[in-house]
Structure 1
Amino acid sequence: MNGLTEAKLRALAGGRSFERGLGYVDAVSGVEVGDGWIRASIHGTERYEAELALGGPGELAGACDCPYGQEGNFCKHLVALGLNVIAQQVDVPRRRDTARDRARGLDAWLCGLSREELLTLVRDEIAEDRNVRRRLELRAASASGDLAGVRSRVRELLDIGPFARYGHVEYADARAYADQAGQAVSAIRSLTGSGRAADAMVLAREAIELLAGVMESVDDSDGWLGQIGADLADAHHEACIAARPDPQDLAGWLVAHVLGDADSLTDIDPLDYEDVLGERGMTALRKLAVGAWQDNRTGWAEKYLMERLAKAGGDVDTVIAVYADDLAPDGHTHLVIARELDTAGRPAEALEWAERGIRDTEDLATVDTALVDYLSDRHTRADRLSDTVAVRRDHFNARRTLLTYRQLRAAAQAADRWPAERESALALLRADTGRKGTHGGHVLVDVLLDDKDVDAAWQAATETGAHDGQWLTLADQARGTRPADALAVYLRLAGPLTRQTGNTVYERLVGLLLSIRDCHRRLGTPDEFTTYVTALRTAQKRKRNLMRLMDDHGL
């Protein structure tokens, strides 16, 4: 197996999976070598089948039926198989030759058996292996046209009884049940392949209902049954393409299925059947979908089906009607409608829906902010700057936060109206002493800091209170003009940190010490800082990481 190296395995798997694979090398068993491939079983919490394949020079790929491998990843089991093979590299050519010899020998032996001897062999296998018997029974029933026999076998294959404990299939048995259920899919597809697509279509529908009926009783954490459901949906589609059933009957089944409980198993999209349905079937499908929606206008499945069909047909008005029948109180649905109308080239109607969304929202504090952004953007692009300011002002008045303040400021500055708007906004915040902002501090302090109005922010913090984070920002911004006030803040914030440990704490403390030193320099009192730092070092000398960090910063 040229090209199979530890470096290549690590590159394909990544460091984490490679390291985990090291612990599974001894769990590899049943290694089989063929032309360009190696297969084996890997036993861990579960048993998985893995296969490595070599393409061109140096090309390596792998597949494993573990959940991670099923997602297309090069998993730890493939790493373990590769490492196992590398450890026995000298033996690989011999194993490959041995495998070829065994295959040729088996084929030659079978060819040499008489008809009676072959029958005896098959009968013995049937008697010893239930799965072999079931597969052959299905093929026999299919070949003889025995639909009742095939139906009976399919029902047996989908029966959870042999795998269930107290009526439930546990996680450890789910894979085995899924493997058995997969045989039912193969049987249905074989019917289509043998020219009996109409029977395959009927059985596929029955199998979907049967599997959907037991889903809640199976621990399908790894998604095995979900894959079987998807395979059954494909088998049904293939059968319909070949059988060409009555379009109206097919439309009726599709609508009933999509609106029923089994849809979550198969995720069938009726539009995938458009070629089979034809014009007559699609007309029936739309009519049935409209009827179902009218009977249950708030049903999620009914709304989704209507939306899919309307969008596929370019029927924007129907799409809007579906949305408009169940408007969200926060204006989100109005926004969805507006965007649909924009896409359809109907901007005036889109704007009307966006404005209606704002009006219909009883409390602007709960409005979908994306709707506010959309409407503001539309007004701005139309050079309706006063309207943009009004939207932002109303939103700020309802939801007084730093973000809405910034948005109001940007809109008002663009309209050359910021001084008056700012005065009104600050008046609201000053009157609203209970409103909290960043880290629980007052919003007024946040917005004044954001405006770089340091003196006003300091006064507001003194009068209304502020969070430590706000005081730190205040001190940082005021240090150049109010070093004594800033120094008092830094010293207060540093005190509690000296009683804590941890590298993150030490980094914060050293940052404060640097700020304290700068304040003393501005105040002309460097000796006081030296005294402070000396006392701090004496008290904190056991914290070696803190001492090292202080040394690094010249403290």
Structure 2
Amino acid sequence: MTTRPAHHDPTEPSFTEEDLSRLAGARSFARGQNYLSDVAELSAAEDRITATVYGSEPYHVVLLLAGPRLTGSCDCPYGQDGHFCKHCVAVGLTALDRPDDLPRLRAETTRRAQTLDNWLNSLDRSQLRELLREQLATDAEFHRRLELRAAAAGSDTLAVRAHILRLLDTRPFEQYGVVDRRDAAGYAAQLTEAAAAIRALAATEQDAEAVTLAETAIKVIGEATERIDDSDGELSDAAQDMAQAHLEVCRLLLPDPVRTAEWLAAHLLGDWSHLPELDPAAYREILGEPGWAELRRLAHEAHRSHPSGWTERYVLESVLKADGRVDELVTALSTELEPDGSTHLAIALELDRAGRRDEAVTWAERGLSDTETAPPRDRRLVEFLAHHYEEVGRLTDLVRLRRDDFRHHGTLDTYRSLRTACRTAHCWSAERPRALALLRADATGEHTGRRPHTGPVLIEALLDDGDAETAWETAPSVPTTLAQWVRLADAVREQHPADALPVYLRALTPLKQQTGHPAYERMTELLLSARACHRALGTEPEFTRYLADLRADQKRKRNLMRRLDEHGL
């Protein structure tokens, strides 16, 4: 996923070369750079950029800017497999190279759309009908969709049912019994159309057939899930739309509450209950007291038959939560406590929401005790108790809790939390040496398996404390990563430029073999830091020779050269 800059100029592309490289991969990104001269018919709207790329044959590319995400589609073979291909890269790079053209292209797109809209508004009913008939004669999909809407509007229940069942059929999209990712979107579109038809039928034909059709659709979707590649999430979205349609038609038509409760329980407890997801609480008013009592009975019965089942517990929890039956919920949850403490936390949260804080704290403390010898525990237990201890002034308990959590995990986050707690309790000066000693033991391997792959937490903790000198002195004795050495060099550069300089030069070496915006940006930062060291040492001619050699070696990387020029390097 690509995140837009925080202060993005709406007249410029909302993505960067780095985004394109990450989406395409290094190979496709490099190939896309060779297609810049083949991009034609560039067009832009507020949420998309389109173009044709003339490769071995013309390919149509769409870059979609949906919220904070950039996605791309292309009708080349590689693009049809769902990849962000070289043609997408070429269009993206072209847009980045022509930011001043985008406002004009967007304005042109808006003008064309307005022209079309004005023309359609100028047509009378007979002209519009003729236009529709022309489209119906050539577009089978459009023809089918209008037939369905006409049948629903005309209360032709049998025709609507036949159409909907045809829309639910996955076979036209299947190959060897499965629906490929490329075809999942087409099937999802049919599900959305079926949901719209069910809503229309309920609005015009006031009987339970619309409810039955929605239930049939939900069953078919659930059974079809295992055969469909929903990597893009479009089937999930369409399934939830169908679930919403079922909820809406139930509210409108008020089907038999007990039968609806039986159907809902069967779906929630069935093999396919994961898609679409139904919330029992959303049906509370539809079911009324008789239906809700039946749903509660069925949920209890299922949980008694299979108390360790995740689905059975979830359904019972959902029903009891909607009822506000906290004691029953606690009893149900406590029959099978998860070893990581997550069930203890769920009970504590429910009790806390019911205003029973003392009981909630007792359950959370029990969770810590029960998971003492079986980490990793659910650390939300720690946060729940820490908030409570601080709130009521139990600072000794707060420090003990944070110390225990730090000893279990030994991360920078738990170190920071311990430091904050100790400062609140005015005991950090006594606690800090013990905490650092533990991190040193981790860093030197005395506690095997504790040190993260990102380098010793000891260095991070010392830097976070603002103790750069100690961190710099400590680094040679522990397996410090190159990235940590660079951060250390940044912290001590003014005091120790001669020591920091070799770190920057060492970090530059692997970057010389890389391409792309992130590598070029990092090289520029390191060169600026190296130059600052040389200036402090009075050896700028040496840096000038190093930079000249580097530019000669990297001269084919035009974007790097441009970036160095921009920074006076």
Q: Distance in 2 between matches of 1:550 and 1:180?
A: 55
Structure 1 counterpart of 2:474, one-letter code: A
Structure 1 counterpart of 2:125, one-letter code: R
Query: Aligned pair in 2 of structure 1 residues 504, 291: CA closer, same or farther (>3 Å)?
Result: same
Q: Does residue 315 in structure 1 map to residue 286 in structure 2?
A: no
Q: Distance in 1 between matches of 2:507 and 2:130?
A: 82
Q: Aligned-pair distance for 1:202?
A: 4.8
Q: Aligned-pair distance for 1:212?
A: 4.5
Which residue of the partner structure matches residue 245 of structure 2?
234
Q: Aligned-pair distance for 1:351?
A: 1.1
Structure 2 counterpart of 1:344, one-letter code: A
Between 152-161 and 369-378, report the one with greater CA deviation: 152-161
Q: Aligned-pair distance for 1:508?
A: 0.4
Q: Distance in 2 between matches of 1:100 and 1:342?
A: 63
Q: Distance in 2 between matches of 1:138 and 1:551?
A: 64
Which residue of the partner structure matches residue 512 of structure 1?
530
1:220-272 deviations in whole A, cap 9, x for unaligned?
A: 76847964784487358636854652x43332222112222454455444444
Alignment of 1:494-505 (within 5 A): 494=505, 497=508, 501=512, 502=520, 504-505=522-523
Query: Aligned pair in 2 of structure 1 residues 388, 223: CA closer, same or farther (>3 Å)?
Result: closer
Q: Does residue 335 in structure 1 map to residue 345 in structure 2?
A: yes
Which residue of the partner structure matches residue 396 of structure 1?
406
| Number of residue pairs the alignment of both structures matches | 455
Which residue of the partner structure matches residue 31 of structure 1?
none
| Contact 1:207–1:232 (CA under 8 A) maintained in structure 2 | no
With structure 1 as the length reference, what TM-score do the two structures score?
A: 0.64
Q: Distance in 2 between matches of 1:540 and 1:132?
A: 65
| Higher Rg of the two aligned structures | 1
Q: Distance in 2 between matches of 1:157 and 1:182?
A: 8
Which residue of the partner structure matches residue 40 of structure 1?
none
Q: Aligned-pair distance for 1:514?
A: 0.8
| Contact 1:192–1:239 (CA under 8 A) maintained in structure 2 | no
Structure 1 counterpart of 2:296, one-letter code: R
Unaligned 5+ segments in structure 2 are 1-9, 15-42, 61-73, 77-105, 132-142, 513-519
Q: Aligned-pair distance for 1:389?
A: 1.3
Higher relative contact order (CA 8 A, sep 6+): 2
| Contact 1:212–1:265 (CA under 8 A) maintained in structure 2 | yes
Q: Aligned-pair distance for 1:393?
A: 1.5
Which residue of the partner structure matches residue 291 of structure 1?
301
| Contact 1:192–1:200 (CA under 8 A) maintained in structure 2 | no
Structure 1 counterpart of 2:366, one-letter code: R
With structure 2 as the length reference, what TM-score do the two structures score?
A: 0.62
Unaligned 5+ segments in structure 1 are 1-9, 29-43, 47-77, 107-128, 521-525
Query: Aligned pair in 2 of structure 1 residues 277, 79: CA closer, same or farther (>3 Å)?
Result: farther
Alignment of 1:37-76 (within 5 A): none
Q: Aligned-pair distance for 1:352?
A: 1.0
| Contact 1:252–1:285 (CA under 8 A) maintained in structure 2 | yes
Structure 2 counterpart of 1:361, one-letter code: T
Between 507-516 and 438-447, report the one with greater CA deviation: 438-447
Which residue of the partner structure matches residue 379 of structure 1?
389
Which residue, out of 458, 469, 473, partners 1:444?
A: 458
1:490-544 deviations in whole A, cap 9, x for unaligned?
A: 23542563786445324302312313432x3xxxxx4xx2563465466557378
Which residue of the partner structure matches residue 49 of structure 2?
20
Which residue of the partner structure matches residue 491 of structure 1?
502
| Contact 2:214–2:245 (CA under 8 A) maintained in structure 1 | no
State the secondary structure of the residue aligned to 1:512: helix
1:467-490 deviations in whole A, cap 9, x for unaligned?
A: 444444545555666x4xx51342
Which residue of the partner structure matches residue 100 of structure 1?
125
1:267-293 deviations in whole A, cap 9, x for unaligned?
A: 444444434432222222211111112
Q: Distance in 2 between matches of 1:130 and 1:492?
A: 67
1:292-314 deviations in whole A, cap 9, x for unaligned?
A: 12222233332222222212111
State the secondary structure of the residue aligned to 1:20: strand
Which residue, out of 358, 363, 366, partners 1:356?
A: 366
Structure 2 counterpart of 1:494, one-letter code: L
| Contact 2:168–2:190 (CA under 8 A) maintained in structure 1 | no
Query: Aligned pair in 2 of structure 1 residues 546, 373: CA closer, same or farther (>3 Å)?
Result: same
Q: Distance in 2 between matches of 1:104 and 1:462?
A: 81
State the secondary structure of the residue aligned to 1:252: helix
Alignment of 1:17-416 (within 5 A): 17=45, 20-21=49-50, 89=115, 99-102=124-127, 158=168, 167=177, 175=186, 179=190, 186=197, 190=201, 193-194=204-205, 197-198=207-208, 201-202=211-212, 205-206=215-216, 208-210=218-220, 212-214=222-224, 216-217=226-227, 223=234, 227=238, 230-231=241-242, 234=245, 238=249, 242=253, 244-245=255-256, 247-363=257-373, 366-416=376-426
Query: Aligned pair in 2 of structure 1 residues 217, 398: CA closer, same or farther (>3 Å)?
Result: closer
Structure 1 counterpart of 2:529, one-letter code: G
Query: Aligned pair in 2 of structure 1 residues 444, 364: CA closer, same or farther (>3 Å)?
Result: farther
State the secondary structure of the residue aligned to 2:552: coil
Which residue, out of 480, 483, 487, partners 1:466?
A: 480
1:389-427 deviations in whole A, cap 9, x for unaligned?
A: 111222222222333233222222322322332232333
| Contact 1:292–1:302 (CA under 8 A) maintained in structure 2 | yes
Query: Aligned pair in 2 of structure 1 residues 97, 264: CA closer, same or farther (>3 Å)?
Result: same
Query: Aligned pair in 2 of structure 1 residues 310, 500: CA closer, same or farther (>3 Å)?
Result: closer
Which residue of the partner structure matches residue 532 of structure 1?
542
Between 235-244 and 425-434, report the one with greater CA deviation: 235-244
Between 220-229 and 376-385, report the one with greater CA deviation: 220-229
